[in-house]
Structure 1
Amino acid sequence: MPVDVRTEIVIARPRETVAAYAGDPSNAPEWYANILDIEWETRPPLHEGSRIGFVARFLGRTLRYTYEVVELAPGERLVMRTAQGPFPMETTYTWESVDEDHTRMVLRNRGEPSGFAKAGARVLRAAMARANRHDLRRLKDLLETGRP
């Protein structure tokens, strides 16, 4: 059973500001509750082919995985994929100007769980949706209060 979770939020900041901050993996531990650390495996700045290692805590487990950037349209779209582990995942960020001071950000996670993860796909999907809503609210709070 595939997992496909799409979450969106409107942030009262210009698209360029939101995309620059959210699209920089170095900032992920600041706004993703479950991401503990990242490590660049390729040299920044972000580009197609960039590889970034993540350490996350999710559903009581510590996970280590590497994303590769497969598509990058600066300020508009970022697509990253991981192929290793029991749950290959694709994460997509899109940014759209609502007006000059507001941005709609969409966070989409999708993948095809296998093994043990496949049996818990429904629970996994619900947990991801909750986590994504929380993370986007945290991002909104950080950006709207001017704290990065």
Structure 2
Amino acid sequence: MPVDVVTTIEIARPRGRVAEYTMDPANAPVWYKNIGSVALTTPGPLAIGSEIAFEARFLGRSLAYTYAVTEFEPGRLLVMRTADGPFPMETTYAFEDTASGATTVTLRNRGEPAGFSRFVGPLTVPAMRHANRQDLKKLEEILEATP
């Protein structure tokens, strides 16, 4: 069962600031509830070809996976695909200015579950949608709490 979950939020901060914070892998454990640790495994700064190792929990399971950056436009777009791990996934972050000077953040996760993940596929989409909403809300709270 393919997974394609798109979640958006408007954050009352300028696009450059929102994108810079969101695209910094070191910040992911702060605003992503299920991510325990992140490590850039290739020399920085972040660029196309960079690899990022994640350790997370999802649906009660511990996961370790590595994303490779496939598209990167600072301040506007970050696309990553898993280079390994139990659930082949592509994650996209897109940032757009609003007329009011805020930022619309779009988070998209899509992929095709494999192995054990195939069996929990029907649970994956609603759980991912719920988690993404909570994570983007936390991101909004963090960014809007600081000037």
Give the TM interval when normalised to the shorter protein: over 0.9
Q: What amino acid is the match of 1:125? A: V
Where does residue 140 of structure 2 map in the other structure? 140
Q: Any unmatched runs of 5+ in structure 1?
A: none
* 2:126 equivalent to 1:129: no
**How many Å apart are 1:100 and its aligned residue?**
5.6
Say how many residue pairs are matched: 147
Q: How big is each residue's C-alpha offset from its partner over 1:4-41, in whole Å with a ceiling of 9 and x where there is no partner?
A: 00000000000000000001111100100000111110
Q: Secondary structure at the match of 2:84?
A: coil
Q: Any unmatched runs of 5+ in structure 2?
A: none
* TM-score in terms of structure 1 length: 0.95
Q: Aligned partners of 1:93 and 1:105: how far apart in 2?
A: 7
Q: Aligned partners of 1:20 and 1:99: how far apart in 2?
A: 20
Of the structure 1 ranges 136-145 and 119-128, higher mean CA displacement relative to structure 2 is found in 119-128
* 2:32 equivalent to 1:27: no
**How many Å apart are 1:101 and its aligned residue?**
2.6
Q: Secondary structure at the match of 1:113?
A: coil
Report the identity percentage. Answer: 55
**How many Å apart are 1:54 and its aligned residue?**
0.5
* TM-score in terms of structure 2 length: 0.96
